[in-house]
Every structure is written in C-alpha cells, then in structure tokens.
C-alpha cells in the first residue's frame, strides 16, 4: 500500500473541498442532497470518478428547473467540474465550467476563472488560459493560486509583466463576494 500516494490524493480532495467552500457559498441542502454530496465525496476518495460524477449529475437533474440555475445547481456543477479535472477530462471540465459561467452572479468568481484557465491551458488554448488566469489573479491575487501548480500563477504574471514576487500592492482589487 502506498501511503504517500493515498495521503496526496486525500490532500487534493480536501484542497478541492476547502477551495470550493472558500469561493462558493455552500447552499442550504436537504438531508438527501447532503447524503448525495457525501456519497460523491466517498466515491471521489476511492478514485471512482465516473460514479462520483454520476451521483452528482443525478442530484443536479433531480433539482427543479429553477434550482438548477441557483446556488445549489452551481455548487453541484463546480464539484462535477473539479472531478472532471481530477479525471483529466478537460473537455468536460471546460464545458461544465463554461455552463456555470452563465449562472447569475457568477462571472468574476476567482476560483471559477482559475479552473477555466487551468483547463484551457491543459487543452492548449493559450490565449483563453491567459485571459482566465489573469482574471483570477486580478480578482483575488495570489491567494486563489495557493496550493496550485506554480506554473498556473506564472502564466498571468508573465502576461501582465509582473515579477513572481509581486504582491500587487498598488491594486486594490474588487469585491467579488457577490459571486460567491
């Protein structure tokens, strides 16, 4: 048994959960919805990505149409997109993230722009990756890049002609809390 690999996988899953909760308001979920999230998380930890995604899609599809485009639907879909990334299904991740961007009060969420930039980079769409990663950086600075591949931060810094040690003190940022 490879404990280092298991620890690393657990760390990534916990990082995903923590980042989602930092950048997206956790909606009020029914007991059944909480159980489905817990089931998907268990399947994710088992690396059973297709079952985790299936569980979450079933949850999304069970929502009323109005709820699908609400914070509950967005919360479920961002979790699906993260699993797509773990499963290296970057096309599905891009499609899910792009769909989420159509939800009210979503454009401008730093984590969403980070993930969309990350998958655009993986798909070789350099201009789109730079655009999305720069948006994430401008919205939240280096914080959104914490615990991420350092190369992702280098992309917008290079495009914005900023040194790696820049902290953007001159930039006051903006209030992206509405996108949470």
Asked if the structure places residue 94 within a domain, the reply is no
Per-residue pLDDT band for 5 (boundaries 50, 70, 90) equals very low
> Do 133 and 50 reside in the same domain of the chain?
no
pLDDT digit string, tens, across residues 121-179: 999 999 999 999 999 998 898 999 998 999 999 999 888 876 666 655 555 555 556 55
> Do 115 and 58 reside in the same domain of the chain?
no
Owning domain of residue 143:
107-180
From the CB of residue 55, how many other CB atoms can be counted at a distance below 10 Å?
25
Asked if the structure places residue 96 within a domain, the reply is no
> Do 2 and 75 reside in the same domain of the chain?
yes
What are the backbone angles phi and psi of residue 128, rounded to the nearest 5°? -65, -40
pLDDT digit string, tens, across residues 31-80: 999 999 999 989 988 999 999 999 999 999 999 998 898 889 999 999 99
Q: Could you give the CA distance from residue 36 to residue 34 in angstroms, rounded to a whole number? A: 5
> Do 20 and 71 reside in the same domain of the chain?
yes
Does the global pTM surpass 0.85?
A: no
pLDDT digit string, tens, across residues 88-117: 999 999 999 999 999 888 888 999 999 999
> Do 61 and 1 reside in the same domain of the chain?
yes
User: Coil, strand or helix: which one is 79?
Assistant: helix
Asked if the structure places residue 146 within a domain, the reply is yes
Residue 87 has pLDDT above 80, yes or no: yes
Asked if the structure places residue 97 within a domain, the reply is no
Q: Into how many domains does the chain fold?
A: 2
């Amino acid at each position: 048994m490879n404990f280092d690999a298991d620890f690393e996988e657990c760390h990534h899953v916990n990082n995903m959960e923590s980042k989602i909760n930092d950048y997206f308001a956790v909606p009020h979920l029914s007991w059944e919805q909480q159980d489905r999230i817990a089931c998907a998380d268990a399947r994710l930890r088992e690396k059973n990505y297709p079952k985790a995604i299936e569980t979450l899609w079933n949850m999304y599809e069970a929502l009323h149409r109005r709820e699908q485009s609400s914070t509950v639907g967005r919360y479920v879909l961002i979790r699906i997109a993260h699993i797509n990334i773990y499963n290296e299904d970057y096309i599905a991740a891009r499609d899910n993230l792009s769909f989420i961007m159509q939800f009210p009060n979503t454009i401008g969420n730093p984590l969403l722009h980070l993930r969309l930039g990350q998958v655009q980079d993986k798909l070789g769409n350099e201009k789109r990756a730079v655009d999305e990663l720069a948006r994430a950086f401008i919205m939240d600075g280096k914080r959104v890049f914490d615990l991420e591949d350092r190369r992702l931060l280098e992309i917008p810094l290079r495009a914005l002609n900023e040194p790696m040690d820049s902290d953007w003190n001159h930039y006051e940022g903006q209030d992206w809390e509405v996108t949470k």
